[in-house]
């Protein structure tokens, strides 16, 4: 029999999954970034967040930013090409 901590359930508003130990009724995406950031404080407004240890809430916030945060486009940088012969001359 699987541990309840390893089980998942479906979010109420979308097909997203919620970990069995998570007391929320909505998934990360549906809760949103503001909710994830509020959960980082000493005493979050959400009752479900208050039930989660602070370190776990911090990990959840980091996970949310990586998975659902705004995608930052990195501009390609022009790199200088140096021939190996030029490097040998300098040594």
Q: Are 26 and 38 in contact (CB under 8 A)?
A: no
Statement: the pTM of the whole predicted model exceeds 0.85: no
Residue 60 in any domain: the answer is yes
Residue 80 in any domain: the answer is no
Instruction: Per-residue pLDDT tens, the chain, 91 aa: give them.
Output: 455 556 889 999 999 999 888 899 999 889 988 888 888 888 889 999 999 888 888 888 888 888 777 655 555 566 666 676 655 556 5
What is the domain extent for residue 25? 8-68
Residue 14 in any domain: the answer is yes
Residue 64 in any domain: the answer is yes
How many distinct structural domains can be found in the chain? Answer: 1
């Amino acid at each position: 029999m699987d541990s309840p901590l390893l089980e998942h359930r479906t979010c109420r508003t979308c097909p997203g999954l919620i970990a069995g130990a998570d007391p929320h009724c909505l998934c990360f995406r549906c809760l949103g970034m503001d909710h994830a950031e509020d959960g980082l404080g000493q005493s979050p407004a959400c009752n479900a967040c208050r039930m989660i240890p602070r370190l776990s809430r911090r990990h959840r916030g980091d996970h949310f930013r990586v998975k659902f945060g705004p995608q930052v486009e990195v501009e390609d940088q022009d790199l200088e090409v140096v021939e190996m012969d030029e490097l040998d001359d300098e040594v």
